[in-house]
């Protein structure tokens, strides 16, 4: 299957993408991984991206599109992929359509993870990260440490990242609404959008997503 995963920040896209890709035996292609791989390997596209990022500028669509095209051309993605973070605007969605048409294939589904805005704010603004190890993550509501402000795993100090503050989260949501949400309407016009609730346990959301994708595939 060829799937695009969309949803606001805090919807759990990264977590769901990993589970779904494993269940469907297709590679999980995330924009973050594309950038990291290209930059660390010193590819032409990676060098271009780095120059923009070092200047504090947004990486132009054509650079991101180029990275995605190269990744989708790799052998493990020939029979399918799950895109996470790409396309992030209508221009990129149109470019993806052209790319796939050139290959004689098309998308099977666009999985839209739906989460109420207040829940997104609660999820992200409540995150607390360990200063010693950023893999140790807690939550002020859903996963409280035994001692407030102290990591259960290593005893390190827990803190809130600057970009996890409520104000920043609401700004990120605004960017999502203006830039990324329009691609849902773009794909809905093609009859590709499958919307599911991203509330509940991770396993419940994955099961919901798998059932919805199976239904859309049969449809």
Q: Which residues are catalytic?
A: 13, 88, 127, 161, 172
DSSP letters for 107-176: --EEEEEE--HHHHHHHHHTEEEESS-TT-EEETTTB--SBTTB-TTT-PBEE--GGGSHHHHHHHHHHI
CA dihedral 115, 121, 122, 125 (to 10 degrees): 140
CB 198 within 8 A of CB 12: yes
Terminal alpha carbon distance of the chain: 14
């Amino acid at each position: 299957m060829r799937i695009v995963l969309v949803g606001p920040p805090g919807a759990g896209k990264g977590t769901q993408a990993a589970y779904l890709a494993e269940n469907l035996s297709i590679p999980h292609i995330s924009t973050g991984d594309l950038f990291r791989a290209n930059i660390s390997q010193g590819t032409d596209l990676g060098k271009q991206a780095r120059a923009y990022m070092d200047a504090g500028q947004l990486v132009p669509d054509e650079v991101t599109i180029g990275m995605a095209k190269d990744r989708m051309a790799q052998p493990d993605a020939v029979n399918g992929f799950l895109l996470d973070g790409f396309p992030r605007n209508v221009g990129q969605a149109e470019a993806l359509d052209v790319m796939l048409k050139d290959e004689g294939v098309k998308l099977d589904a666009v999985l839209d993870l739906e989460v109420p805005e207040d829940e997104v704010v609660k999820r992200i603004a409540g995150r607390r990260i360990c200063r010693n190890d950023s893999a140790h993550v807690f939550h002020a509501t859903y996963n409280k440490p035994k001692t407030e402000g102290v990591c259960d795993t290593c005893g390190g100090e827990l803190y809130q990242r600057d970009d996890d503050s409520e104000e920043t989260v609401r700004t990120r949501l605004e960017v999502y609404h203006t830039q990324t949400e329009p691609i849902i309407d773009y794909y809905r016009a093609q009859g590709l959008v499958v919307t599911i609730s991203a509330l509940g346990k991770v396993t419940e959301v994955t099961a919901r997503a798998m059932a919805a994708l199976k239904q859309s595939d049969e449809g």
